[in-house]
Amino acid sequence: MSKETRGSDPQGVSRRGFLKGVGAGSAAAGFIGVGENTAQAEGQDAPAIVGPGDGTYTLNIDGESKEVTAEPRATLLDVMRNRLDVTSAKKVCDRGTCGACTIFIDGEPAYACSMLALEAIGHKITTIASLGTPEMMSALQKAFVKHDAQQCGFCTPGFIVAATDLLNKNPNPTREQVRDGLGGNLCRCGTYVGVQEAVLEAAQSMKGGA
Amino acid sequence: MQDFEYTAPTSLEGVIGLLSETWGETEIYAGGTDLVTCLKQGLTAPRRVVSLRNVKELKGITILDDSIEIGAATTLTTLLGNAELAKHATALIQAIEGINSKQMINVGTLGGDLCQRPRCWFYRNGYGLFGIEDGKSLIEDGDNRYHAIFGNDGPAKFVSASSTGPALIALGASLIVSGPEGERTIAAWDFFQTPQSESDRETALKSNEVLTKIIIPKNETQSATYEIRHRAGLDWPYVTASVAIGKEGTKVVLGHVAPTPWVSDAAGKALNGRVKKADAEKAGEVAAEGATPLSQNAYKVAMVKTAVKRAVLRATGQEEEA
């Protein structure tokens, strides 16, 4: 959308109310870029206003600060995969159902497909890439390999993130708790039994100090 | 998805000032779990999205002498960890446990659960709230297996998608909404409404209002929610029942059977504080009376009987094996 069209506000929304809304509490910095496409102020958690059109902002992904330029409508998943080449979270259903895009936001699992990237500013985003490497796999990742807990493997990164969270919170889960705890993830190949075995074994091996 | 202007004010006043008097011009972003999908599905194409992320007054739980106040933008996970809610609002906690996805409840908010749009597949595929194509109802003659069996005599045949609405109604909760003209209090029951035209909405919220608070009275109430579902993982249930048994009477509220949560006064009266297994069974039968199933969802009538019975037994510690 061009800047020209921005002059015509949505019906019933006063520009005065708009400015009041953004200005209140966000200090003068909040006004930077009104009428421009980027409005993130230095050191602010979140921009006061972005778009329509590209805005530039910084995301913290796997411990690295990454600057990105994207439109407000971009989801966190699309920004990671398409703009930042962070492909560790997978895109499958793209509607918050399958869990393949599961990442940690400040240590809690969330669906990257169902969140605007702008909402992730100021939060720590952690993907499976931070949990292990092919050479240095986590106990859970090793157990997934051993128990054939994947077929096509596309859902696996999301399962690993969700199961890592599960074991963080409940180091000694029952099979029932594993099944329930992974309710937010789907595997269309149907390797649920392998996943359950892997999580249960990882729980045991982690207790042994592995 | 059409692009939009994104704003994240730091005060409630700021949020209200940015909202349009016309539906569809602006949208509120709480957890985003439904809104982002609605944006992708083209169900809404706002000019502006107003995020609640920086509005601290909308987050958190306050325990008062006679009530519990929950900020509408409080995540469902936060509610699950609250001991006072576990004690005074068991039905609510059990309803949230039913949303079996950590990813969803870590981000999703209580206000968002109440304001989410229907999941009717005709609606989600662009045929409007009433599923109409060329003036003809796609629902009446189509795949209506998940649709309403109560309150479906008008054009709306979808079911309310809210997981927590039935429990909040059973618990006698009230909701606070704020708009340009100030604040108003709405009983949880009155918050939900059945649209009669495509321009109507499923809640009493106006387009320039924000749901700010949910207030649950601290009554001596035994309450429970029982869900009948296809799978244990993330999905909507077929039928749910929330019951609250207290000094003021017994409330039975069904979920996923009507365009709103569905209060069964008759079932509440039939119980009237009696909670033996035979009473619970009777209440289930009474609750199912008057159902008007569509061509493919008569199975839900039997589920209503079972859900009510099991919710009563669950509330009173007499749970039977499913």
pLDDT band at A39 (very low <50, low <70, confident <90, very high): very low
Residues B41-87 have pLDDT tens digits of 999 999 999 999 999 999 999 999 999 999 999 999 999 999 999 99
| Chain B interface disruption, residue of A114, A160, A182, A187, most B CBs within 10 A | A114
Report the share of chain A in percent with pLDDT over 70.
76
The C-alpha of A116 sits at a distance from chain B's nearest C-alpha, in angstroms, of 7
Task: Say how many C-beta atoms besides its own lie within 10 A of residue A6's C-beta.
Answer: 15
Supply the CATH number for residue B259's domain. 3.30.465.10
Residue B320 falls inside a structural domain: no
Q: Taking the alpha carbons of B63, B97, B122, B49 in that order, is the dihedral positive or negative? A: positive
Residue B234 falls inside a structural domain: yes
Q: Are B308 and B285 in contact (CB under 8 A)?
A: no
The C-alpha of A104 sits at a distance from chain B's nearest C-alpha, in angstroms, of 9
pLDDT exceeds 60 at position A42: no
pLDDT band at B28 (very low <50, low <70, confident <90, very high): very high
| Chain A interface disruption, residue of B1, B2, B7, most A CBs within 10 A | B7
Break chain A into its structural domains and give their ranges.
Answer: 13-49, 131-207
Query: Residue A47: its pLDDT value, please?
Result: 57
Nearest to A22 among B2, B14, B49 (CB): B14
- Smallest CA-to-CA distance from B209 within B241, B259, B175, B235 is with B175
Cβ contact B15–A21 (<8 Å):
yes
pLDDT exceeds 80 at position B284: yes
pLDDT exceeds 90 at position A14: no
The rounded distance, in Å, linking the Cα atoms of B210 and B182 is: 11
Looking at beta carbons, which residues of chain A come within 8 Å of B161? none
The rounded distance, in Å, linking the Cα atoms of A132 and B16 is: 45
pLDDT band at A21 (very low <50, low <70, confident <90, very high): very low
The CA–CA distances, whole Å, from A55 to A38, A42, A67, A147 equal: 4, 14, 10, 44
Residues A135-154 have pLDDT tens digits of 999 999 999 999 999 899 99
CATH 3.20.20.70 fits A131-207, yes or no: no
Q: Is the ipTM of this complex over 0.85?
A: yes
Looking at beta carbons, which residues of chain B come within 8 Å of A50? 5-7
Nearest to A52 among B3, B13, B14 (CB): B3
Nearest CA in chain B to A50: B6
Q: Are B147 and B139 in contact (CB under 8 A)?
A: yes
The C-alpha of A111 sits at a distance from chain B's nearest C-alpha, in angstroms, of 6
pLDDT band at A44 (very low <50, low <70, confident <90, very high): very low
Task: Say how many C-beta atoms besides its own lie within 10 A of residue B206's C-beta.
Answer: 16
Residue B321 falls inside a structural domain: no
Burial of B193 by CB count in 10 Å (0-12 exposed, 13-18 middle, 19+ buried)?
middle
The rounded distance, in Å, linking the Cα atoms of B39 and B24 is: 11
Residues A169-207 have pLDDT tens digits of 999 999 999 999 999 999 999 999 999 999 999 999 988
pLDDT exceeds 90 at position A9: no
pLDDT exceeds 60 at position A3: no
The C-alpha of A133 sits at a distance from chain B's nearest C-alpha, in angstroms, of 24
pLDDT band at B285 (very low <50, low <70, confident <90, very high): very high
Residues B129-140 have pLDDT tens digits of 999 999 999 999
pLDDT exceeds 60 at position B262: yes
pLDDT exceeds 80 at position A34: no
The C-alpha of B52 sits at a distance from chain A's nearest C-alpha, in angstroms, of 10
- What is the extent of the structural domain holding B172? 5-315
Looking at beta carbons, which residues of chain A come within 8 Å of B27? none
The rounded distance, in Å, linking the Cα atoms of A10 and A3 is: 14
Looking at beta carbons, which residues of chain B come within 8 Å of A110? 103, 106-107
The C-alpha of A95 sits at a distance from chain B's nearest C-alpha, in angstroms, of 6
Of A33-42, A86-95, A197-206, B219-228, the one with minimum mean pLDDT is A33-42
Nearest to B11 among A24, A72, A186 (CB): A24
pLDDT exceeds 80 at position B240: yes
Cβ contact A184–B29 (<8 Å):
no
Cβ contact A115–B2 (<8 Å):
no
Q: Which residue has the tokens 């993907």?
A: A127
Looking at beta carbons, which residues of chain B come within 8 Å of A10? 20, 22, 25-26, 46-48
Looking at beta carbons, which residues of chain B come within 8 Å of A25? 9-11, 14
pLDDT band at A45 (very low <50, low <70, confident <90, very high): low
Quote the number of domains for chain B.
Answer: 1
Cβ contact B107–A114 (<8 Å):
yes
Give the mean pLDDT of B165-173: 98
| B322 lies within 8 A of chain A by CB | no
Residue B255 falls inside a structural domain: yes
